[in-house]
Amino acid sequence: MSDRSTLSQFGHVFQSKIISSLVSDKKFIQTISDILEPDYFDSDSNKWLCKTIRDYFFEYKTTPTLEVMKVKIDEVENEILQVSVVDNLKESWRNIKSTDLKFVQEQTLEFCRNQVMKHAIMDSVDLIEVGQYDQIKKLVDNAMKAGADRDLGHDYIVGIEERLNQSARVTVKTGWDPIDEVMDGGLGAGELGVVVAPAGIGKSWCLQTIGSAAVKEGLNVVHYTLELNENYVGLRYDTVFSGITTSDIQFYQDDVKKKIDSLKGTLLIKYFPTKSASVQTLTSHLSQIEIQQQKPDLIIVDYADILKGIGTEKRHILENIYEDLRGLAGEMDCPIWTASQANRSSLEEEVIDATKVAEAYSKVMIADFVVSVSRKVEDKIANTGRFHVIKNRFGPDGITFPSSINTNIGKIDVYEANTQDGQSTQGKMDNSQEYLRKTLANKYNNSQKDTDGFE
């Protein structure tokens, strides 16, 4: 065979990493098993390893363990080949953690597909002479199917044990127990969550609260900000973690550092100017993060409506952005939380429903979980608000939870309506006018006392 017909062109280390992939990646061997020929390898030992691993997979439908390989090697009668196989297997085992195995697999798959197509074309020459055109088509069609993904999906009938023994969703909690409960544990990998609120209500604080809860749990969080700069977002996270107002943090640096040093997870904050970054920009940045082996467990985008999109009509642009963002969640295999603007008319609404989502209702259709936050003027004074579940793929929706929202110290709590805290908060909201009158009266009385004695 010429070098172009074997794996010689890739070198010894590359071939060793192919063996690494065969013994460690079931999906890879499942895809390539019927088109990877042992004769493609240079050395007799790698040819033997390839054939042995393939044969084991054909019989048992899984990759062989190290114990299995040891038994197979003991059966080799040629001592020189046996020693060489052991050495090559050791090298391949060391390469199992290599960061370029995905690249090796892609190149190997492409090489094998090309070989199958070359053989189909060569075999077609003789068929042309005898006019067997249907047979030629069959050969080429089969060659085109070579190396196709053989993962057919989840077999419902035989997969019951797998379903019962493994959690269907691995979730990241929001830190708000009532919300996590209706979400069946939180937001899962590949899912998109949206916080809807009018301007100035506290969308960013909500996203930072979700991010801080994940960091406290020891998870890796990437927070994209398209409004506030990185340092200021960092200061707001300082406030959430420490309970000290952003303006006073400089006076309590030791206390804040102590809180941050106790955190289990990591937080990376990246700023892009408004409308300068698309979902593709975020994808590229996340690829750089993965190169440094810091795969995120949670991504926060503050916020999707001001990402750069494609199109001319605003509602279509937003629809594309949200579709791409949910696609990114699936690609990264982690949850994404973002926020969306509510209509101006919702500023004085007690509960914000789906009809108040600005510009494009399709945002609600695309997202997996949508919750609105409403705060009237009286709520801002009383540090109260309402969380309303607009959409929920994982449980009930249409539920409204009373909440305390103190944006001075970044503290947001959500309560069940029938708990003591929930009833107390609801009471404040029900008597909001009286609460506002008393608050303003107290402020007036205090100001009068401060001016006593002055003419």
Instruction: Give the pLDDT score at 161.
Output: 66
Cis, peptide link before residue 303, omega less than 30° from 0: yes
Instruction: Give the pLDDT score at 146.
Output: 64
Please give the CATH number for the structural domain made up of 3-145: 1.10.860
The one-letter code for the residue type at 162 is: E
Distance of CA 120 to the CA centre of its chain: 41
Question: Does residue 322 contact residue 307 with C-beta atoms inside 8 Å?
Answer: no
Question: Does residue 400 contact residue 453 with C-beta atoms inside 8 Å?
Answer: no
Instruction: Give the pLDDT score at 262.
Output: 92
Distance of CA 118 to the CA centre of its chain: 40
Statement: 171-444 belongs to CATH 1.10.357.10:
no
Instruction: Give the pLDDT score at 168.
Output: 62
CA distances from 291 to 102, 117, 206, 294, 327 (A): 12, 34, 30, 8, 20
Rounded CA gap, 249 and 241, in Å?
Answer: 11
Instruction: Give the pLDDT score at 353.
Output: 87
Question: Does residue 398 contact residue 368 with C-beta atoms inside 8 Å?
Answer: no
Instruction: Give the pLDDT score at 13.
Output: 93
Rounded CA gap, 224 and 251, in Å?
Answer: 28
Instruction: Give the pLDDT score at 454.
Output: 44
Question: Does residue 134 contact residue 61 with C-beta atoms inside 8 Å?
Answer: no
How many CB atoms within 10 Å of residue 315? Answer: 14
Contacts of 324 (CB under 8 A, 6+ apart): 278, 279, 280
Residue ranges of domains in the chain:
3-145, 171-444
Contacts of 275 (CB under 8 A, 6+ apart): 226, 306, 307, 308
Radius of gyration (Cα) for the chain, nearest Å?
30
Rounded CA gap, 122 and 126, in Å?
Answer: 8
Instruction: Give the pLDDT score at 78.
Output: 92
pLDDT in tens, the chain (455 residues): 455 678 888 999 999 999 999 998 888 888 888 888 999 999 999 999 999 999 999 888 888 988 999 999 999 999 999 999 999 999 999 988 888 999 999 999 889 888 888 887 887 777 777 777 677 677 666 666 665 655 556 666 666 666 665 556 789 999 999 999 999 999 999 999 999 999 888 999 999 999 999 999 999 999 999 999 999 999 999 999 999 998 899 899 999 999 999 999 999 999 999 999 999 999 989 988 887 768 899 999 998 999 998 877 888 889 999 999 999 999 999 999 999 988 877 777 888 888 888 666 788 899 999 999 999 888 888 899 999 999 999 999 999 999 999 999 999 999 999 999 999 988 888 776 565 566 656 655 666 555 454 44
